Amino acid sequence: MQFKTFDIIPHDTKFDFVGKRHIAVALSLIANLAVIVFSLNAVHGLNFGVDFAGGTEMEVKFDRGVDAADIRRSVEELGFKDASVQTYGPESEHSYLIRVGRIALMSQDDVNRVIQAVKAKLPVSGEPHFNSEVGDKIDFQFTRNPTSDELRAVVESTGVKVREVREEAGLTAGTRSFAVITQGIRDKVENELQAKFSDAKPDVRRVEYVGPAVGRELRNQGFKAILYAMGLIVIYVGLRFDFRFSPGVIIALLHDAIITLGYFAFSGREFNLTAVAVILTVVGYSVNDTVVVYDRIRENQAKLKGKNLADLVNLSINEVLGRTFLTSFATALSLVGLLIYGVGTIFDFSAAMLIGIISGTYSTWFIAAPMTIWLEERAEKKKAAAPRPHEAQAKSV
């Protein structure tokens, strides 16, 4: 201690965290409930990204700023009632994300009409195949080799515009397979934008398709991942400390996960795979602080036997207050750059992470540790009410 140093948090604070726990728990309950209710589809819902919801997403860059509402109107005029348009990246880039909930444009009627026409004019073998989850694509097999142009002409004679005819190797000997890709959502939206905003030179940068089946699977996997991670962490903490600590950890983890989810619910930012990654990271990180406090509680329990539990917990939290605050502060500091320079997903990642870190520190002080007291007290009361011989032997700490 030869140099003058300072403490951001004085090392001898005596804040009564345990005493404030009722207010804190009430506040947290309200916040958590609000997030959950808000995330329900019936109330407001999460803005599920294409990752989860399925559909077509296009990133379009313009030469100059265009009103997002105008773009939405244009897209909706094409018949996509569920279109969503948002700016993407910094204002100066004039980039927009356009999302529609459909993948294929062709209706079953269109498909049948095309198939009838092709069957009438060309030697089709087997049943042509169309799957709306794959896009505007019909697979044909022929017993002899039509030219691409021939096939294109037949399809276009039904009034369906063809984007591409692709020959694929035949499945069985002597047959030829062709895939007819008709002009789908991308072309339609692009043409419309070219027409309406020709002076702003719309440029489609990227197109993504996700089938609903894939989306569903990803969503289930995401939720499963969060649950598994929580379970494993609780088991680890239980084994390393004591399973008496586990309920407090579970509640703190759930609390932090829900608050982080709140970022996506209230900001309306896209909830996608990266969002699941943030929640998982928050879950993993927030235990960090909790463990520091638990560690100290355990240390003090051994040192200060007979001390009232509430005082013990209060003392422990206060003793490591500087640490829990500073570790979170340092981690938050490393996110600052990402918050300033991050675009799109990365900005959301950093912002949600920051909220998760703050929530993690808060929940360590006000939720996890006081929770332990509450559980202990309940156990004590039960024991007092119905003392049974095998339970009278208190667990050694």
Partner 1 sequence: MERSWLWRIGLIAAVALFSVYQLVPSWFYFKLPPGERNGPAYEESVPKWAPNARRHLNLGLDLQGGIHLAMGVDVDRAVKAKVARRADEIAEYLKEKGVPVESAQPAGDGRVIEVKTSEPARAEKTVLDQYNSEMYAPSGAPQGATWLAFKTKVLQDFQAKAVEQAEKTIRNRVDKWGVSEPDIKRKSNNQIQIQLPGFKDPEKAKELLGRTAQLEFKIADDESSLLDAVRSELPACQGSEAGFKMPLPAEGCWSVETVELPSGGTRQVTFLAANNRSELDAAIEKHAKSKLDHDHELGIGEGTVGQGPIRDRYYRTYLLRAKTELTGDYIADARAAVDNSQGAGKPVVVFTMSPEGGRLMEKLTTNNLHRRMATVLDGKVETAPYIQGKISTNGQITLGSGRPYQQMFEEANEIALVLKAGALPAPVTIFEERTVGATLGPELIRKGTTAALVGLLLVIFFMILYYRATGLIADVALALNGLLVLAIMAIIGTTLTLPGIAGFVLTLGMAVDANVLINERIREELRAGRTVRQAVDQGYDKVFWTIVDGHVTTLVAAVVLMQYGSGPVRGFAVTLIIGLVASMFTSIVVTRAIMDFFTRRDTARLSV
List binders of partner 1 among 110-149 (CB under 8 A).
131, 133-135, 137, 139, 144-145, 147
Angstrom CA distances, 362 to 32, 96, 113, 291, stand at 14, 37, 63, 14
d(CA 260, CA 355): 6
Least CB distance to partner 1 at residue 172 (A): 8
Candidate list 107, 158, 221, 267; residue touching partner 1; CB under 8 A: 221
Binding segment toward partner 1, per CB under 8 A, in 282-290, 308-316, 372-380, 389-397:
282-290
Candidate list 124, 200, 309, 332; residue touching partner 1; CB under 8 A: 332
d(CA 329, CA 333): 6
Q: Would you count residue 260 as binding partner 1 (CB under 8 A)?
A: no
Interacting residues with partner 1 between 153 and 212 (CB under 8 A): 164, 166, 168-174, 177, 179, 205-211
Structure tokens of 155? Answer: 């399809």
Candidate list 23, 40, 232, 397; residue touching partner 1; CB under 8 A: 232
Q: Would you count residue 8 as binding partner 1 (CB under 8 A)?
A: yes
Closest C-alpha among 259, 195, 253, 199 to residue 36:
259
Least CB distance to partner 1 at residue 30 (A): 27
Decide whether 63 or 164 has the Cβ nearer to partner 1: 164
Decide whether 25 or 273 has the Cβ nearer to partner 1: 273
Interacting residues with partner 1 between 71 and 110 (CB under 8 A): none
Q: Mind giving me the DSSP string for 147-210?
A: -HHHHHHHHHTTTPPEEEEEEE--SSTT-EEEEEEE--HHHHHHHHHHHHSGGG--EEEEEEEE
Q: Among positive and negative, which fits the CA dihedral 31, 32, 37, 38?
A: positive
Interacting residues with partner 1 between 296 and 315 (CB under 8 A): 299
**Distance spanning both ends of the chain, measured CA to CA:** 35
Q: Among positive and negative, which fits the CA dihedral 263, 265, 268, 271?
A: positive
Closest C-alpha among 214, 346, 238 to residue 287:
238
Candidate list 72, 152, 244, 323; residue touching partner 1; CB under 8 A: 323
Binding segment toward partner 1, per CB under 8 A, in 67-75, 113-121, 332-340, 388-396:
332-340
Report how many helices (DSSP H) and strands (DSSP E) the chain contains, helices first. Answer: 14, 10
Least CB distance to partner 1 at residue 40 (A): 24
Task: Give the 3-state secondary structure of residue 293.
Answer: helix
Angle at 96 between CA 94 and CA 100, to 5 degrees: 165
Rg (CA), the chain: 30
Q: Would you count residue 53 as binding partner 1 (CB under 8 A)?
A: no
Q: Provide φ and ψ at 48, rounded to 5°.
A: -65, 130
Decide whether 147 or 157 has the Cβ nearer to partner 1: 147
Q: Would you count residue 236 as binding partner 1 (CB under 8 A)?
A: yes
Decide whether 340 or 392 has the Cβ nearer to partner 1: 340
Candidate list 53, 83, 233, 373; residue touching partner 1; CB under 8 A: 233
Angstrom CA distances, 143 to 113, 116, 125, 138, stand at 21, 17, 6, 17
Candidate list 28, 49, 53, 59; residue touching partner 1; CB under 8 A: 59
Q: Among positive and negative, which fits the CA dihedral 32, 34, 37, 39?
A: negative
Q: Would you count residue 355 as binding partner 1 (CB under 8 A)?
A: no
Binding segment toward partner 1, per CB under 8 A, in 6-14, 21-29, 108-116, 153-161:
6-14
d(CA 152, CA 165): 7
Q: Would you count residue 218 as binding partner 1 (CB under 8 A)?
A: yes
Decide whether 21 or 255 has the Cβ nearer to partner 1: 255
Least CB distance to partner 1 at residue 219 (A): 11
Q: Would you count residue 243 as binding partner 1 (CB under 8 A)?
A: no
Candidate list 104, 287, 297, 313; residue touching partner 1; CB under 8 A: 287
